[in-house]
C-alpha cells in the first residue's frame, strides 16, 4: 500500500470510542489518526479500550478544525448514515474501498493522501463538515435497525480498506489486469504534481475567492444566498480539479475582479 490513509475523528464525545477506533485501525494495518474537537484520547479508558494500540493514540494529531485536519488531503471521504440533500456522491463502504484501491494502484499513489472522516456519535457529521468532502460513505445496514457505534463503524471501514489496498496481506498481491497499465503493459509514468487533485487547503482558498467574486459581481446575494454556495461547492468537490486546473480557475476569477482593457 503506497497511498496514505488517515482516519479523522470529529467531535467524539466518549473517550472509550477513541480507544476502540485506534484498535480497529491498527488491527487492519492503519496507524494515522487525526482528532478534531474530541474528548481526551489519552485517558485510562481510551488506552484500555485500544487493547495495545496505544501508539496510535499517542501519535494522534489534534487540530482546531476539520479544515486544518484535511488541508493536505486530496481525497476526503465523509461517513454518513443517510443520503443528504445537495451532497457529493454517496457510495457504499465497499465502493469507496474499490476507488481507493484504484488510487493506490496508480503511479501517483505516494503523492496522494486520503482522509476517512467520522462524526460525532449521536449526530454524525454536520452539513458544514460534509461540504468539505469529495465523497460520502455509507455502511449498508439493516434498514429496520441501523444502529452502529463509532468503533464498529471504524472497524467496518478499516476492514474494507484493508482488503482493497492489501494493508494486511494474506499472500502475494494479485495484479488487476488492465488497471493503471499502459498499452505496452508497463505502469504509466507518474503525473506532474500539478496534475494531481488539488488539496483541501487549496480548494478552500478557491471557494473563498469564488465567493468573493460572486458577491462582488452581484451573482450571489450574501443576505439571501439560498443554496447557491452549497451547489457550487458540491459541483467542484464532486469533480475536484487538479492543481493546474485550479490555478486556471483562480486566474479567471482574478481577471474578473480586475479586467484588462482591450488593447
Examine the pLDDT at 189 and tell me if it is beyond 60: no
What value does the mean pLDDT of the chain take?
87
Examine the pLDDT at 176 and tell me if it is beyond 80: no
Q: What is the largest CA-CA distance in the chain?
A: 71
Q: What is the model's pLDDT at position 170?
A: 60
CB 60 within 8 A of CB 35: yes
Examine the pLDDT at 178 and tell me if it is beyond 50: no
Rounded-to-integer distance, Cα 30 and Cα 42, Å: 18
Span 132-156, mean pLDDT?
91
Could you tell me which residues are beta bridge partners of residue 10? 36
Q: What is the model's pLDDT at position 171?
A: 53
pTM for this entry: 0.81
Sorted by where each starts, the structural domains of the chain and their CATH numbers stand as: 4-165 (3.40.1280.10), 193-257 (1.10.8.590)
Strand bridging mode 33-36 / 61-63:
parallel
Rounded-to-integer distance, Cα 158 and Cα 129, Å: 21
pLDDT tens by residue, 201-237 = 999 999 999 999 999 999 999 999 888 999 999 899 9
Q: What is the model's pLDDT at position 179?
A: 41
Cell reading at 64: 482546531
pLDDT tens by residue, 91-115 = 999 999 999 999 888 877 777 899 9
CB 102 within 8 A of CB 180: yes
Examine the pLDDT at 82 and tell me if it is beyond 80: no
Examine the pLDDT at 261 and tell me if it is beyond 80: no
226 CB neighbour count, 10 Å cutoff: 9
Examine the pLDDT at 23 and tell me if it is beyond 50: yes
* DSSP single-letter state for residue 106: S
Cβ neighbours for 168, distance < 8 A, ≥ 6 positions apart: 28, 29, 162
Span 71-88, mean pLDDT?
83
Closest CA to 68 of 8, 141, 18, 126: 8
Span 241-249, mean pLDDT?
93
Rounded-to-integer distance, Cα 97 and Cα 34, Å: 20
Closest CA to 166 of 51, 32, 30, 60: 30
Please enumerate, as own/partner, the contacts of 177-184 that have beta carbons within 8 Å and a separation of 24 or more: 179/102, 179/105, 180/102, 180/105, 180/106, 180/107
Tell me the residue ranges of DSSP E strands in the chain. 4-10, 33-36, 61-63, 75-79, 90-92, 113-118, 135-138
263: confidence class by pLDDT, cuts 50, 70, 90:
low
Examine the pLDDT at 193 and tell me if it is beyond 80: no
Amino acid at each position: 500500500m503506497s497511498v496514505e490513509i488517515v482516519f479523522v475523528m470529529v467531535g467524539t464525545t466518549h473517550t472509550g470510542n477513541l480507544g476502540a477506533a485506534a484498535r480497529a485501525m491498527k488491527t487492519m494495518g492503519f496507524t494515522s489518526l487525526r482528532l478534531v474537537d474530541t474528548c481526551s484520547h489519552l485517558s485510562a479508558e481510551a488506552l484500555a479500550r485500544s487493547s495495545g494500540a496505544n501508539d496510535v493514540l499517542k501519535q494522534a494529531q489534534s487540530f482546531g478544525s476539520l479544515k486544518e485536519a484535511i488541508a493536505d488531503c486530496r481525497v476526503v471521504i465523509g461517513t454518513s448514515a443517510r443520503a443528504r440533500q445537495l451532497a457529493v456522491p454517496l457510495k457504499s463502504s465497499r465502493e469507496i474501498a474499490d476507488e481507493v484501491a484504484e488510487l493506490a494502484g496508480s503511479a501517483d499513489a505516494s503523492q496522494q493522501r486520503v482522509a476517512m472522516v467520522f462524526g460525532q456519535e449521536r449526530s454524525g457529521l454536520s452539513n458544514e463538515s460534509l461540504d468539505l468532502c469529495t465523497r460520502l460513505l455509507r455502511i449498508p445496514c439493516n434498514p429496520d435497525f441501523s444502529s452502529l457505534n463509532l468503533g464498529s463503524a471504524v472497524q467496518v471501514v478499516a476492514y474494507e480498506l484493508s482488503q482493497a489496498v492489501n494493508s494486511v496481506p494474506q499472500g502475494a498481491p494479485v495484479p488487476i489486469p488492465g488497471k493503471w497499465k499502459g498499452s505496452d503493459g508497463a505502469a504509466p509514468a507518474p503525473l506532474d504534481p500539478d496534475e494531481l487533485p488539488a488539496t483541501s487547503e487549496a480548494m478552500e482558498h478557491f471557494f473563498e475567492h469564488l465567493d468573493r467574486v460572486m458577491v462582488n459581481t452581484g451573482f450571489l446575494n450574501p443576505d439571501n444566498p439560498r443554496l447557491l454556495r452549497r451547489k457550487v461547492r458540491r459541483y467542484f468537490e464532486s469533480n475536484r480539479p487538479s492543481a493546474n486546473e485550479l490555478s486556471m480557475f483562480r486566474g479567471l476569477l482574478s481577471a474578473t475582479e480586475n479586467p484588462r482593457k482591450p488593447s
